[in-house]
Amino acid sequence: MKEMEILIWIISIVFITHLLNLRYNFLKTVITKSFIMILIIGLSLCANIDKMFPLYGIFISIALIFSLAGDIFLVVDGNKFFLHGLLSFVLAHLFYIISFLVFNTPIGIISVQFIVALIVICLSAGIFYSFFYKKLGKMKIPVLIYLIIIGIMASLSIRISWLVFAGAISFLVSDMELALNKFYKPIPHKSIFNSIFYFPAQFIFALSIFLLFN
């Protein structure tokens, strides 16, 4: 589909522009970050149209829209609207979970791969959570719930494909970086680090609609 190829090139160019602007112009960074997500949503919609709107693709697109909402909340004021952003991403991950559950694959929901992934991710998330538990204050429960949901999302993604699983892990890493920076210790060049993991994850989810139904 020619439109998708054009979109992929545009996303790549805007992503590189975004990385170059991160250290120099906050306004341009905000604009390019939102624009990248809008383009990725557009990519998912193009894939949905091309593949006759499979349930998997519909839920992926909805998840991407909630992710965009979360980005906007956190960019506008990461402190004042942190809970709003967190809730938006919780909803995004719930729709990712639904998309992974409705996808028809020979691998069952409760598979060896899923159990192994869930154990490894939960242990890693538990250790990670312990680092900044005391600094969370009233956010202890919301952050814990978020970690559980994203852990389930990442574990379920393994039944779709290794590429989608890589995207989910990349998303998980980007969120861990954000949490460490906010609640534990500021990370140098945090925006660059986060973008390198966050946007490719979302891009993979959107592109998977096209790849899985090709």
If one counts the domains in the chain, the total is: 1
Residue 71 tokens read as 């980005």
User: Chain-centre distance of CA 109, in angstroms?
Assistant: 21
The per-residue pLDDT for 40 is: 96
Least confident of 46-60, 89-103, 131-145, 159-173: 131-145
The per-residue pLDDT for 58 is 96
Which pLDDT score, from 0 to 100, does residue 1 have? 63
- Confirm if 194 and 174 have CB atoms less than 8 A apart: yes
| pTM reported for the whole predicted model | 0.90
Give residue 211's pLDDT band: very low, low, confident or very high (50, 70, 90).
very high
Average pLDDT, integer, range 198-205: 96
User: What number is the average pLDDT over the span 89-102?
Assistant: 96
pLDDT (tens digit, 9 = 90+) per residue, 40-63?
A: 999 999 999 988 899 999 999 999
Write out the residue range of the structural domain in which residue 56 sits.
2-212
Instruction: Report which of 159, 161, 59, 57 is spatially closest to residue 108, judged by C-alpha positions.
Output: 159
pLDDT of residue 66: 97
CA distance 2 to 111: 37
Q: What is the pLDDT of residue 187?
A: 64
User: Region 169-190: what's the mean pLDDT?
Assistant: 79
- Band of residue 112 on the pLDDT scale cut at 50, 70, 90: confident
User: In the block, which residue shows the tokens 């069952």?
Assistant: 108
- HEC-encoded secondary structure of the chain: CHHHHHHHHHHHHHHHHHHHHCCCCHHHHHHHHHHHHHHHHHHHHHHHHHCCCCHHHHHHHHHHHHHHHHHHHHHHCCCCCHHHHHHHHHHHHHHHHHHHHHCCCCCCCCCHHHHHHHHHHHHHHHHHHHHHHHHCHHHHHHHHHHHHHHHHHHHHHHHCCHHHHHHHHHHHHHHHHHHHHHHHCCCCCHHHHHHHHHHHHHHHHHHHHHHHCC
Q: What integer pLDDT is reported at residue 214 of this predicted model?
A: 72
